[in-house]
Amino acid sequence: MKGIKTTIAAAAALLAAGAAQAEPVKVGMITTLSGGGAGLGIDARDGFMLAVKQANNPDLEVVIEDDQRKPDIAVQLADKMIQQDKVDVLTGIIWSNLAMAVVPSAVAQDKFYLSVNAAPSQLAGKGCNKNYFSVSYQNDNLHEAAGGYASSAGYNSAFILAPNYPAGKDSLSGFKRFFLGDITDEVYTKLGQTDYAAEIAQIRASGAESVFFFLPGGMGIAFMKQYAQSGVDIPLIGPAFSMDQGILGAVGDDALGFKNTSNWSKDIDNATNKAFVETFQAEYGRLPSLYASYGFDTANLLLSAMDKASVSDADAFRDALRAADFNSVRGKFIFGPNQHPIQDIYVREVVKEGDVLTNKIIGTALTDHSDAYASECSM
């Protein structure tokens, strides 16, 4: 009798242990799937889900919701996902103003947040958190590289332009941090603005040697088209967001030759990246953008942590995330002390491959680059 009891107890203990090992992880993805910024969110989601599909891990469950690029909706969705869906991990936010509304309260409730894109400076320095990881970059990074590139290309002055929201401010301060020349004008536009006639007139009158602009999504399309029509011929420089794969087709040949900085490009030479570009194209019928690459890396990071630790053991899971033991499409991938990547940033040029416009790497702007806020972060 006693023997049976111990056997049952042992079996129960075994079962319990087995359950703990295969504990499901629930991910809440809040991203922009409708309205003007939809292309970015859809790319991030498709990249993420491609990795989820390839891993085919039955323990990973993903809930996806559309934030419509509105901070209030993003907050409601986060509350719903945390309280009702009981998610363990949140991800997906594209826009920094939405990230600022959601991330601090989510990580304070002991949820993990893995950023597929937005990484405002406020969350990298004093406001860093042990449960917050940025897989993409720190907001300033690509703009810092653009500033460095503009200087090394020999431009002595720049007219700089960005939307008036957290990432726009990070952008211009990042550019200025690495640009050695003079800033002739610094202009903030409204987020979502689509007519840039007034700004282009000022660019024409400024006499600057270069123009740096950070205008993601539809804003970038509108600016590039209007700039090409305006006859102003001051060279343009920008981060990859101003000219990602999703918007090149809408701008057309006017984009050719545009120099932009990125931590990812489809021609980074490694097996993971090659396979990613091929399978993404086969699955969705279009080339991936950098947002898709961040989504893909984020899912693979999460899957790598799930292989090592159970999400209910928060400390072990966090360490597993920190180790970043996965094959990134960017080649090497390491987190810095504030849990933002330390990485290379490239200069790309818009070229035509057959009939398709795309970006090609022409050089490296910054190597093993961290961010300006890491030293202010104490964890």
Partner 1 sequence: MFSLFLEQLLNGLQSGVMLFLMASGLTLVFGVMGLINLAHGSLYMIGAFACAAVAAWTGSFWLGLVASLMAAAIAGALVEMLIIRRLYNRDHLDQVLATFALILIFSEGTRWIFGSFPLFLSVPDFLTGTVILPGGSQYPLFRLAIIVAGLAVAVGLFLLIGKTRLGIRIRAGEADRGMIAALGVDIDRLYTIVFALGAALAGLAGAFVGTTQSVQVGMGEPVLILAFVVIVIGGIGSIKGALVGSLLVGFTDTMGRFLLPHAFATFLDPSSATAIGSALASMLIYIVMALVLFLRPSGLFGATS
**C-beta closer to partner 1: residue 49 or 106:** 49
Least distance in angstroms from the C-beta of 350 to partner 1: 14
What residues contact residue 159 under an 8 Å CB cut-off, 6+ apart?
A: 183, 184, 185, 187, 202, 203, 206, 208, 210, 211, 212, 234
Question: Among the residues of the chain, which ranges form H helices?
Answer: 2-21, 38-55, 71-83, 96-108, 141-152, 166-178, 197-206, 218-230, 245-251, 271-284, 290-308, 314-323
The strand pairing partners of 205, in sequence order, are: none
Instruction: For partner 1, give the closer residue by CB, 195 or 307.
Output: 195
Whole-number minimum distance, CB 303 to partner 1, in Å? 26
Interface residues toward partner 1, by CB under 8 A: 33-36, 38-39, 42, 164, 186-190, 192, 194-195, 197-199, 201-202, 204-205, 218-219, 221-222, 225-226, 229-232, 246-247, 249-252, 254, 286
Q: Report, in Å, the least distance between residue 192 CB and partner 1.
A: 6
Residue 229 or 281 having the CB closest to partner 1: 229
Identify the CA nearest to 183 among candidates 212, 157, 218: 157
CB of 238 to partner 1, least distance (A): 16
CB of 143 to partner 1, least distance (A): 16
Our CB check for partner 1 shows the closer of 230 and 358 to be: 230
- Of 157 and 226, nearer to partner 1 (C-beta) is 226
Place of tokens 């101003």: 242
Least separation, in Å, of the C-beta of 285 and partner 1? 10
> Assign residue 185 a region: left if phi > 0, alpha if psi is -120 to 50, beta otherwise?
beta
Question: With respect to partner 1, which residue has the nearer C-beta, 269 or 355?
Answer: 355
The set of residues, in sequence order, having a beta carbon less than 8 Å from that of 361 and lying 6+ positions away, is: 265, 267, 268, 346, 347, 348
